[in-house]
Structure 1
């Protein structure tokens, strides 16, 4: 009896296995023979998207063709939506922020929230407009606090379980990705300029960083960042107000306007960089990218090559500019030192100045120096350097040469000489005797810097004789002058 039971169980198992294999076999026939073409089409199906190719910015040269602001090859960390899943992006962002922070390199961090001494969140001082833009984007009440903003982002971006600092850093990147309309056709630049060593580390760990790609880019470079920084000007991230203005003009990025500005683009902020923004900014190109169902790259075809921005030539002579800057610094410092060594305040309060040299034939600017000044190379890379400049009471960021208001001093003497000659008050042989003190009036007797004796107009200009021009100016009169 027990032998029959064992045999029946064996037969039952064989029948079940046979049925299973029959089902698998029929399914295999369906996949490979009956509907083989359809399943092949599905398995080989690719997703096609158009991706922007950023154009290089134009260069700025002096009158002799020497570069003042140029481009160098750099590396940027870019997020590609096609290869980044919703589940992996927070981990990718955290690994990269920690890597770059550890290596002392900069990633795009524009969230106007910081952690205070008590471990809570607060809006960054001086960034009220950015905080208002954040609140608006998150659709919160106008009076929302930094803690409320972080709570919203923690819930929306899935940041529970991270430390406050980690959550804040990931939220900063996710917020910027949201602002810049991160999509398959609009990659996001996480870090615009990283070192080759960092690139090597990232490439060795690509399997742990899905969606993060290294792209060869052009980065603004200055042969000498201390030469004419106020003239060259600065570039930086587009502000909320600038983006809104560009949007009104129809100059923002879209698939129909590849050369439009995306939220994470850079733009000229001051100087030549701002004044010639439309010339320096190139025309972006595009490429069609095909990816498989697994996110692997199938093909990439350039449909429109990017066009670099134009080169801008200045009338500035960089060698003369260097001389002007060095001479100005030496004279300001010398005047201050002289004033401190003497009684009174004759030069002691001299902390700043400006100088401009013009071509007398066409009045083009050959040099325009400001003191104190700054280094553009540091300005664009070190946030702490900018904060130091902004807090300096001597205002090194202010362009005194072109924007400052100063009493003309001896630079007005050629005007008096020209007017007096034109009105025939003097001629080229007219003589005025300089005894250092002008004694025409009893109650007001201005002085000269030296005893020049008898001088004509040419000699007076050469020696910058005050007495000659006091007397000539009095005789000419303010109306004729």
Structure 2
């Protein structure tokens, strides 16, 4: 290798070393940015995907009067609760239909605060909010806001939005109303990986046993 070739090789080596140093510097700056600037955000995201909080209500003791006689006591109650993590890939609407049918068969009710009736013979819906009830009227206005509808929206408009949002068009109208109401209740309870959905409350032991069998 002559002198000129040696100089060329040295220049190339210097360029490669400089490029490697610049690349390492960029990686270092990026790492510092991720750890120092956005470190808390990434830590929070990681925690949200690994930690799950569940509220367990403690049993209350008896309430007695001055003579020690019991005037109020605790009783055992059962709720039907859906856990999104435990559901896996199971079809949600299919599962809801099964649970509704089991609850109906046992004379139980489920949480449904959607202020809309079942469809009439013509397939139309009506609001069930009482005109003189401030509470019902506020709930009705909040429902329309939650669904992104104008306050002049009709009951049919609300159901059309629910059917579209939750892909319920393939179900009969009565099931559209039932499933739409449950989905709306899920929305109100913020059903997610970290929030369970309480579908029914204070069901009987017989209902619990029936659901477990299925």
By the TM > 0.5 criterion, same fold? yes
Aligned-partner Cα distance in 1 for 2:145–2:156: 15
Aligned counterpart in structure 2 of residue 125 of structure 1, from 126, 129, 137: 129
**With CA pairs under 8 Å and 6+ residues apart, which has the higher RCO, 1 or 2?**
2
Conserved in 2, the CA contact under 8 Å of 1:114 and 1:124?
yes
Could you say what secondary structure the match of 2:150 adopts?
coil
Q: Which runs of 5+ in 1 are unaligned?
A: 1-45, 206-481
Larger Rg: 1
Aligned-partner Cα distance in 1 for 2:60–2:91: 33
Alpha-carbon deviations, 1:197-252, whole Å to 9, x = none? 211221111xxxxxxxxxxxxxxxxxxxxxxxxxxxxxxxxxxxxxxxxxxxxxxx
Within-5 A mapping of 1:133-152: 133-152=142-161
TM-aligned CA deviation for residue 148 of structure 1: 0.8
Cα distance change, pair 68–158 in 1 and its aligned pair in 2 (3 A): farther
Aligned counterpart in structure 2 of residue 66 of structure 1, from 57, 66, 69: 69
Aligned-partner Cα distance in 1 for 2:90–2:145: 26
Aligned-partner Cα distance in 1 for 2:163–2:119: 18
Alpha-carbon deviations, 1:103-151, whole Å to 9, x = none? 2112112111112544411110313222111101001111111111111
Aligned match of 2:41: none
Cα distance change, pair 172–65 in 1 and its aligned pair in 2 (3 A): farther
Aligned match of 1:55: 58
Q: Which has the higher helix share?
A: 2
TM-aligned CA deviation for residue 85 of structure 1: 4.7
Cα distance change, pair 86–149 in 1 and its aligned pair in 2 (3 A): farther
Q: Which has the higher strand share?
A: 1
Aligned-partner Cα distance in 2 for 1:197–1:72: 16
User: Which stretch shifts more, 177-186 or 84-93?
Assistant: 84-93
Aligned match of 1:388: none
TM-aligned CA deviation for residue 87 of structure 1: 5.8
Q: How many residues align?
A: 160
Could you say what secondary structure the match of 1:128 adopts?
helix
Aligned-partner Cα distance in 1 for 2:153–2:168: 19
Aligned-partner Cα distance in 1 for 2:150–2:108: 35
Within-5 A mapping of 1:321-340: none
Cα distance change, pair 120–62 in 1 and its aligned pair in 2 (3 A): farther
Aligned match of 1:242: none
TM-aligned CA deviation for residue 171 of structure 1: 1.3
Could you say what secondary structure the match of 2:144 adopts?
helix
User: Which stretch shifts more, 50-59 or 112-121?
Assistant: 50-59
Cα distance change, pair 146–83 in 1 and its aligned pair in 2 (3 A): same
Aligned-partner Cα distance in 2 for 1:112–1:146: 9
Within-5 A mapping of 1:54-203: 54-57=57-60, 59-85=62-88, 88-115=91-118, 117-118=120-121, 119-126=123-130, 127-203=136-212
User: Which stretch shifts more, 145-154 or 164-173?
Assistant: 164-173
Conserved in 1, the CA contact under 8 Å of 2:119 and 2:173?
no
Alpha-carbon deviations, 1:399-449, whole Å to 9, x = none? xxxxxxxxxxxxxxxxxxxxxxxxxxxxxxxxxxxxxxxxxxxxxxxxxxx
Conserved in 2, the CA contact under 8 Å of 1:52 and 1:185?
no
Provide the TM-score with structure 2 as the length reference. 0.67
What value does the CA root-mean-square deviation take over the aligned residues? Answer: 2.2
Q: Which runs of 5+ in 2 are unaligned?
A: 1-48, 131-135
Could you say what secondary structure the match of 1:190 adopts?
strand
Could you say what secondary structure the match of 1:133 adopts?
helix
Conserved in 2, the CA contact under 8 Å of 1:52 and 1:186?
no
